[in-house]
Structure 1
Amino acid sequence: MEVPALERFLSPGKGSGLRSRRQVRPGELLYRAEPFAYVVTKEQLGGVCEQCLQRNEHLHRCSQCKVAKYCGKSCQKEAWLDHKRECKCLQNVKPNFPPDSVRLAGRIVFKLLRQSACLSERLYSFKDLQSNAEQLSEEMKEGLGHLAHTLQLYLRAEIQDASHLPPAIDFFQIFTKNRCLNLVSVMLHQLLCLEGPQYEGWVTCNCFTISNGEMQDVGVGLYPSMSLLNHSCDPNCVIIFEGYQLLLRSIREIQIGEELTISYIESLMPTSERQKQLKRQYCFECDCCLCQDQEKDAKKLAGEEPAWKEVKDAVNEVKYPKSKEEWEKVLAKCQHLLSSHTSHLPDTNIYQLKLLDCAMDACINLEAWEQALCYGSRTLGPYRLYYPDFHPLRAVQLMRVGKLQYSQGMLPQALGTLKQAYDIMKVTHGTDHSLMQALMDLKEQCEAMMKLH
């Protein structure tokens, strides 16, 4: 497929956004980009291939560092150019493991040393990325300084002498450069899991969270030209990933001269929380229509405050369960809270909604399909309320519920749900996306089964 060119859009100036040169229809693929650098998140190590980012239960690990894991020899060979220098660094810091941001920064340094070009720098290169260091609080600067020191220690196995670094490389600037985005976890229920000092999140928010087709975090990467995109809590574009490739798609009609926008954060939060996060992570305040009218804030926090605060704390404590026992504990906690607050919290309360999602995930991982469908069905109304237009999260949720309905023999309901998912996903993902292909296959199976009955 032809890769759309960013030259179709105007860049009035560095950091000032992209504007359309022509009228754009909903569902158009506006840009496809590969990362300047990317890494698998620590939580996904061992379950996701380091090169293609595909989930695989039978990965082969690097025989030297024993950290990086791959689908097979082909992926390992393809990844070696990016991994060969970090391999020694990973061995050198054992048994410790660097934060995701430090490992990514290391890869950025090694790529700069190679002086290799990257297509995603077509409009905006790494050296162009703007630093927001002067806007950071002293506390933030101290935390970023700590990470810069950690990076120096991490790179010591490969770069003993600072003179070996490319010109103008400043470790602190690597962490503060770029007013960039955290994005598409935009669509996730959690941002990158913060590890150690809280400052980790401030660093990783300079890059894109890479998600799989079902909007689950798998990695973090830097796509320089996409840093030109500005934020709106009510955007006209979304970013979806296919492996490590970034796809920028329009979700509304965009007029000539209109700015292209994406959401840097999860819009499900109340306005005050969104503003607080944007100010803390990106040093600006949003004045989009969603922030101005605050129309849905009351519904987002409906119910009794002590109840939703308890649920909020419980949901925030859940950290990537991996074993059956861990999922069973998560489900038991969810079931207890859901039964305790039946009359205190409506499903439209955002923390109750996240609790239902968590319970659904636990049931799916425990293969309790009927229970999973019960929880999933309760989320569809709130999802429709908070994601009324074309939103990838809603498409994925509809597909998951449709799949559960199909497993329970509820064929007419399943087909209706899958058709709703299809109508949204053809805009947010496009017909060529692997998840869309899986949805169409499931829809066809459902139609075939209905004919047999």
Structure 2
Amino acid sequence: MSLSPSIQHYINGHNLTLTTSTQKGRTMVATEYHHRGSIIITSQPLATVSVSDDYCQHCLRQSRKTDGGYTPLQRCSRCKSAYFCDMDCFKSAWINYHRYVCGDGDWRTCDEELLERAVCSLIRYKQHPYTPTPNNLDSLPPKETLDITMEAFSCLQDHLDDQPAHITQQLFDLADKVLQRPYIQQQALHYGIDQTTLVRLQSQFQCNGMSVQDEHLFVVGEGIYPVASFFNHSCRPNAAAVFDGSLLLIKAIEPIGPGEEITLAYIDIGRSRGYRQRILRDRYFFTCDCVRCSDQGWLRLLDKMVGEDEEDEEEDISNFVISKPYSQQHQQQQRRRKKTDQLDTLRQHINHWDLLTLSRQYDRLKNIHPDPSQSLTLGTFTHHMLQLFTPYVWSVNNPTLHYTNDQSLYSTTSCSMMDSIPASSSSITNTPPVSPSSIYTPLPAPVSPPHHPPASPSSTPSPSTSTSPPYSSIFLDNGFYAQFDDPCPTAAQPPIQHDYQSILTKAMETCLSFPANPHSTNIPSTGDGLLSIPVFRLSTLAGVHHLFYEAMENKHWPFAVKCGLYILIQYCFLYPPYHPTMAHHLAMLAKTGWNFIVQDSIREKVYARGVRRWIALAKETAKLAFGTRDCHYKEAVNLEWLFRREHQLVLG
């Protein structure tokens, strides 16, 4: 189906063009250069549905931010079951959909509600057809009107003939149910919307639907975004979809040149190849052949390294239903026992991990490598990879990041920074603890930190002098956090490769060179007497991720920091450097590290340098992945301020 002039104008106005190939079909290609962090295009939803009462059912925002804080959601006074962030959202929802269902008392599934809202949009479009004028077509920047959204949706494939018979029957059943709704029945008959139309709509939903995420990457709804569906999938994308409420923004996470295809990830790319290919085949009806999935791609070693964990990874070990048949209960118990044993083994490894010793040993100057005759532990694997990855996978991609080249900062002596911290500031009260429930609590604003304001210069002891150059001149500079005190790539040991692909390729080859098979179930014990674990596998990553949240909830910051560092290394393999998932984790790691050095009154320079690095990377990555208005960037800025002013952490 050819594109209408309005769709072509909208796409071309964002320096894009749609081409056609026999292998991929439609392909979205850049016609001009798109900088990393730039918004390539936006996509309005045809229909959305919230999956939580904690979010506005129209715009999918949690609350409106005002000068006085956040305003709570307002409940519909009639049905008392729908929540909206303000009167504007309520009025829009009332006109478009809510007036038909308010107070009817019927419970709807997510698919049913999404279909009903899409039908309402279709009826509204047919009632008020939009006719573009020459002035509309010449306007810049182009805006996505309802006709663009509807016409783009009509161009999407439905793959109805590829659906299994039982799925097709479910689509027909739901279509019949929706057509019986009084507010749809008459209008649908008038505009020729029949059962077949609704079945095809649903099939298009399944092939093109997207999960809507809030600013913390939690799924808060489901939506249909026709313009965004023009972009093809890649397991190593150069763009990412982020959401501003219900509005989808496609942002460049890599520099994209003219003639280059722009790709998104339809699914979580932090999964095994078998899982990704199965989901893409069953839901989207294609087999991915990107640089990660192809046997000729430069990332072909990655899935070999992380393995094929094809167990039921979606199963929560806490969900045990007694009413299941005995065989299922037994399998559930075995799965739960296996995962519990895995977590216990991981705890032993993490508790045995000497963070200070390994941080000093793997310092980027001694060319230290793990013993090839011993199985890798979480600690040796993480610290060896940290030498290769941070901050180099970011700096080789971003010429705005610089190095201070100050090798005097690599002294192993303790830093005197904690001597300059007032007693009232050495607790965590100025920075809320990071936990699954409060991890996104805003940090203190620079102008008015709560509880304990910064001590005045006269009451704060001066940092002890050091023979190394004073850091204050760089420390107070606005560009300080665009600089790193790590060795330049040409001076680092082990040697750093010259580009991003070479860094990752060398790291993957290094990991696979160790004699212990990372996929073997009979791995020998380490030299420390610990039961060896497959440190590369996704099952290990899932277990450490569970322990990471557990440690933050219990405020066990040293344990949480070690978990966070391991997760960071795995994410460096699995995600592009400026991917939103990477930016989110760096923000968590920066806050966890800050809690660690402040609450435990850590005096070691190597720890302070590490926290400084995570704050710098969190700020830099969040700025380009989410933007400067996002909570991740603001939290990184607040941490930056706390680090250099309130606690006067001087690294020299």
| TM range, smaller chain | 0.7 to 0.9
C-alpha distance in 2 between matches for 1:111 and 1:267: 32
Tell me, yes or no, if structure 1 residue 255 matches structure 2 residue 265.
no
Q: Match of 1:91, as an amino acid?
A: D
Identify which range, 4-13 or 396-405, moves more after superposition.
Answer: 4-13
Shift of 1:120: 7.0
C-alpha distance in 1 between matches for 2:539 and 2:183: 46
C-alpha distance in 2 between matches for 1:436 and 1:60: 28
Match of 1:49 in 2: 56
What stretches of structure 1 of length at least 5 have no aligned partner?
179-202, 320-330
Structure 2 CA distance for partners of 1:434 and 1:162, relative to 1, 3 Å: same
Shift of 1:72: 4.1
Structure 2 CA distance for partners of 1:63 and 1:447, relative to 1, 3 Å: same
Shift of 1:339: 0.5
Structure 2 CA distance for partners of 1:451 and 1:283, relative to 1, 3 Å: same
Match of 2:81 in 1: 67
Shift of 1:16: 0.6
- Contact 2:37–2:623 (CA under 8 A) maintained in structure 1: yes
State the secondary structure of the residue aligned to 2:113. helix
Q: Match of 1:230, as an amino acid?
A: N
- 1:15-414 aligned at under 5 Å gives the runs 16-41=26-51, 45-55=52-62, 58-88=72-102, 91-93=104-106, 97-115=107-125, 119=145, 122=148, 124-152=151-179, 156-161=181-186, 163-164=188-189, 166-168=191-193, 170-177=197-204, 203=206, 206-293=208-295, 294-301=300-307, 309=311, 312=313, 314-315=315-316, 337-340=342-345, 343=531, 345-364=533-552, 372-410=560-598, 412-414=609-611
Shift of 1:372: 4.3
Please give the root-mean-square deviation of Cα atoms over the aligned residues, in Å: 3.4
- Contact 2:232–2:263 (CA under 8 A) maintained in structure 1: yes
What stretches of structure 2 of length at least 5 have no aligned partner?
1-8, 64-70, 131-143, 321-335, 350-530, 599-607
Tell me, yes or no, if structure 1 residue 448 matches structure 2 residue 633.
no
Taking structure 2 as the reference length, what is the TM-score of the superposition? 0.55
Q: Match of 1:258, as an amino acid?
A: E
Q: Match of 1:137, as an amino acid?
A: P
- Contact 2:178–2:184 (CA under 8 A) maintained in structure 1: no
Structure 2 CA distance for partners of 1:368 and 1:63, relative to 1, 3 Å: farther
C-alpha distance in 1 between matches for 2:120 and 2:565: 48
Structure 2 CA distance for partners of 1:347 and 1:147, relative to 1, 3 Å: farther
C-alpha distance in 2 between matches for 1:407 and 1:332: 33
State the secondary structure of the residue aligned to 2:587. helix
C-alpha distance in 2 between matches for 1:210 and 1:313: 19
Match of 2:624 in 1: 427
C-alpha distance in 1 between matches for 2:173 and 2:122: 22
State the secondary structure of the residue aligned to 1:159. helix
C-alpha distance in 2 between matches for 1:159 and 1:142: 21
State the secondary structure of the residue aligned to 1:12. strand
Q: Match of 1:444, as an amino acid?
A: W
State the secondary structure of the residue aligned to 2:91. helix
Q: Match of 2:172, as an amino acid?
A: G
Shift of 1:163: 4.5
| 1:237-290 deviation line (CA, Å, top 9, x unaligned) | 111112222111112232322221111111122222211111100111111111
| Larger helix percent | 1
Task: Indicate the structure (1 or 2) with the bigger Cα radius of gyration.
Answer: 2
C-alpha distance in 2 between matches for 1:16 and 1:230: 8
C-alpha distance in 2 between matches for 1:99 and 1:440: 41
| 1:358-410 deviation line (CA, Å, top 9, x unaligned) | 34335555666665445333312211222253211111001012112223335
Q: Match of 1:439, as an amino acid?
A: A
State the secondary structure of the residue aligned to 1:53. coil
- Contact 2:618–2:633 (CA under 8 A) maintained in structure 1: no
Q: Match of 2:623, as an amino acid?
A: K
Percent of residue pairs bearing the same amino acid type: 23
- 1:3-18 aligned at under 5 Å gives the runs 6-7=11-12, 8-12=15-19, 16-18=26-28
Identify which range, 52-61 or 106-115, moves more after superposition.
Answer: 52-61
Instruction: Tell me the number of residue pairs that the alignment of Structure 1 and Structure 2 aligns.
Output: 400
| 1:85-128 deviation line (CA, Å, top 9, x unaligned) | 3434x7242xxx32222211111111222226753763753333
C-alpha distance in 1 between matches for 2:558 and 2:55: 28
Structure 2 CA distance for partners of 1:376 and 1:67, relative to 1, 3 Å: farther
